[in-house]
Amino acid sequence: MDNYVTGALIKRLRESKKMTQEELAEKVCVSGKAVSKWETGRGFPDIGLIEPLARALDISVIELLSGVDVRNRNRSSDMNKCRFYVCPVCGNVIRTSGETVISCCGLTLPPLEAETPDSDHAINLEVVEDEYYVTLDHPMTKTHYISFLAAVSDQGVQFVKLYPEGGAGTRFKINRVERVYACCNRHGLFLLDLKPKRKRPSE
């Protein structure tokens, strides 16, 4: 497979059917933000959503699976600029210390864009000795689940891959952790920022 469904095609087909992003999102059981990310090239629909997406847009799967790859710009990197890339075909997760060009299954992948956790993706932390016990109250079904958890410090990344019908939780060493990430296979990446906010000089 050289190409994957493009955001431009999704947007054109959606608009031709006079659907809003929210209406399309409801048909394929994702959020409006997820559809927005697809259409702006900041993410791909999961492979499990291709068939219902094709039905919603009144197009065949083969017709839908065509378009142009999304290209990313290289940037200088360090651990504070950690990026995650997820292949929508095989589910492979690639971690980098900055943006780069990543390909998997013949696709060039965009970096996941982290959002502040909402009520359905709240990241809970409990301190147990020298570890964070990280959990989410989230479905872990075969079609809707947390695919990974990660804790990032200035020294590296602690990463745990999760699987459907397992538990949505793990433990990370606390030492210097500044961010905790959780990735939902339907709604994307969520970030809990643990860095203390710096006060302005006037405060």
- What confidence tens digit (pLDDT) does each residue in 55-71 have? 999 887 777 775 433 33
Cα separation, 34 vs 42, whole angstroms: 9
Question: Taking the model in full, what pTM does it have?
Answer: 0.67
Is 188 strand, coil or helix? strand
Q: How do residues 113-165 score in pLDDT, each as one tens digit?
A: 999 999 999 999 999 999 999 999 999 999 999 999 999 998 889 999 999 99
Of 35, 42, 37, 44, whose CA–CA distance to 3 is shortest?
Answer: 44
3 and 60 share a domain?
Answer: yes
Report pLDDT for 180.
Answer: 97
Which residue range(s) make up the domain with 141? Answer: 119-193
Q: Is the pLDDT reported for residue 41 higher than 90? A: no
174 and 150 share a domain?
Answer: yes
Average of per-residue pLDDT values in the chain: 86
Cα separation, 157 vs 152, whole angstroms: 5
Question: How far from chain centre, in Å, is Cα 152?
Answer: 16
Q: How do residues 71-130 score in pLDDT, each as one tens digit?
A: 344 444 456 678 999 998 898 999 988 767 788 888 888 899 999 999 999 999 999 999
How many domains does the chain divide into? 2
Report pLDDT for 44.
Answer: 86
139 to each of 97, 131, 200, how far by Cα in Å? 30, 24, 40
Report pLDDT for 169.
Answer: 97
Do 188 and 37 touch, CB atoms closer than 8 A?
yes
77 and 141 share a domain?
Answer: no
43 and 87 share a domain?
Answer: yes
Report pLDDT for 61.
Answer: 77
The verdict on residue 18 lying in a domain is: yes
96 and 186 share a domain?
Answer: no
Question: CA dihedral defined by 24, 27, 30, 33, rounded to 10 degrees?
Answer: 20
Q: Is the dihedral of CA 197, 93, 97, 130 positive or negative?
A: positive
